C-alpha cells in the first residue's frame, strides 16, 4: 500500500476509494516537482474521466481523496502543472508595480514569472478575495494597491509571485467573506505565505472585527456557517465565532468599513 493511501486510511478511519491506486504515480510526480499537463489530461492519463480531479461532483470519492492528499501529505504546496484556463488563474492587481500601463494590471500565468523583480510602486497591498469587491474598491480608490485573490484557485506562478513580493519586503493584509468557506480560504492563502506575520495579514479582518461585524450585520445560514477545518489558530477563532453565532457576512456589506480601515492601514509603517 502506498504511503498516501495508508495516511488517508489511518487519518480518516475508512478505506481509500477503489480507484486510489491509480493516483500513486501522479503523487510520485508531484513529490518530485515534475511539470504536469493540465489537470484534465492528468486524470485521463490515469484512466479517470477528465473532470475527476477538478470537479467535486464528477467522482466525489476520488476528488476528496486527491484533495486530502494534497492538503495533508504535501502540506498544500502548489502542484507544478500547466493551467488550461485563464479566468481565475491570472494575477490581477492595481498600483503594485511601477508602470504606466492602465490599471488594473492583469497578468496571465506565462507572464507572472517575469514580474518577480519588476520595480514596485508600493510596500503595502491589500489582498481582496472577491472579484467584484476588488474592482469596486479599485474604482472608488484608483490609487490603492490591491491584489485580487479570485477565490481559492491558486496556480504555482501566482503563489511564487506573492512569495517573491514578500521577500522584497511587501506587507500584505487580507479581506474576504466572513463565512466558513471564506475563513478557510484565508487560512489556505496565509499558509502559502512565508514571511507575513499573522497580525499583519489580519490587521483589518481581525477576530475582534469579525465578531463585531457578525453581531451587527450577520445573516443566518446553516450551510455557510458550518464547522470546517483550518490550521491557523487565529482563523480557528474566527471560524468558531461564525459557527457559534450561526451567521455570516459578505464582503459587499463591508465596503464603507473597508474604505476607512484600508485607508488607515495603508498609511501605517510596515511591520
Q: 218-237 burial, b if ≥16 CB within 10 A, otherwise e?
A: beeeeebbeebebebebbbb
Query: Residue 267 CA to chain centroid, in angstroms?
Result: 26
Residue, of 269 and 100, whose pLDDT is higher: 100
Q: Write the CB contacts of 215 (distance below 8 Å, at least 6 apart in sequence).
A: 245
Does a cis peptide bond (omega within 30 degrees of 0) precede residue 104?
yes
Condensed to tens digits (0 to 9), the pLDDT of residues 146-184 reads 999 866 656 677 888 999 999 999 999 999 999 999 999
Q: Write the CB contacts of 169 (distance below 8 Å, at least 6 apart in sequence).
A: 123, 270
Residue 114 has pLDDT above 90, yes or no: no
Average pLDDT, rounded, for the chain: 90
pLDDT value for 271:
45
pLDDT value for 108:
80
- Please count the other Cβ atoms lying within 10 Å of the Cβ belonging to residue 123: 13
For the chain, domain boundaries: 3-72, 91-267
Q: Which of 22, 111, 37, 21 is nearest to 80 (CA)?
A: 37
pLDDT value for 90:
76
Q: Which helix (H) or strand (E) holds 125?
A: strand 124-128
Question: CATH number for the 91-267 domain, one of 3.30.870.10, 3.40.1360.10, 3.90.420.10, 3.40.50.2020?
Answer: 3.40.1360.10
pLDDT value for 153:
58
Residue 87 has pLDDT above 60, yes or no: no
Q: Which helix (H) or strand (E) holds 33?
A: none
Amino acid at each position: 500500500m502506498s504511503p498516501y493511501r495508508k495516511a488517508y486510511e489511518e487519518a480518516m478511519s475508512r478505506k481509500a476509494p477503489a480507484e486510489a491506486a491509480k493516483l500513486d504515480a501522479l503523487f510520485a510526480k508531484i513529490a518530485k516537482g515534475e511539470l504536469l499537463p493540465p489537470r484534465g489530461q492528468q486524470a485521463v492519463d490515469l484512466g479517470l474521466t477528465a473532470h475527476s480531479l477538478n470537479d467535486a461532483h464528477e467522482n466525489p470519492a476520488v476528488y476528496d481523496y486527491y484533495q486530502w492528499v494534497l492538503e495533508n501529505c504535501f502540506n498544500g504546496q502548489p502542484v507544478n502543472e500547466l493551467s488550461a484556463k485563464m479566468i481565475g488563474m491570472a494575477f490581477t492587481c492595481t498600483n503594485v508595480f511601477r508602470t504606466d500601463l492602465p490599471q488594473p494590471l492583469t497578468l496571465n500565468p506565462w507572464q507572472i514569472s517575469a514580474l518577480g523583480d519588476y520595480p514596485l510602486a508600493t510596500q503595502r497591498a491589500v489582498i481582496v478575495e472577491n472579484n467584484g469587491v476588488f474592482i469596486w474598491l479599485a474604482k472608488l480608490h484608483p490609487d490603492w494597491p490591491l491584489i485580487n485573490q479570485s477565490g481559492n484557485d491558486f496556480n504555482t506562478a501566482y503563489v511564487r509571485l506573492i512569495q517573491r513580493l514578500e521577500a522584497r519586503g511587501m506587507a500584505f493584509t487580507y479581506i474576504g467573506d466572513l463565512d466558513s468557506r471564506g475563513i478557510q480560504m484565508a487560512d489556505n492563502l496565509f499558509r502559502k505565505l512565508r514571511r507575513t506575520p499573522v497580525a499583519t495579514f489580519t490587521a483589518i479582518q481581525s477576530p475582534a472585527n469579525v465578531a463585531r461585524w457578525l453581531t451587527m450585520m450577520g445573516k443566518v445560514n446553516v450551510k455557510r456557517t458550518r464547522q470546517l477545518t483550518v490550521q491557523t489558530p487565529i482563523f480557528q477563532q474566527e471560524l468558531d465565532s461564525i459557527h457559534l453565532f450561526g451567521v455570516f457576512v459578505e464582503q459587499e456589506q463591508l465596503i464603507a468599513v473597508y474604505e476607512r480601515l484600508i485607508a488607515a492601514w495603508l498609511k501605517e509603517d510596515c511591520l
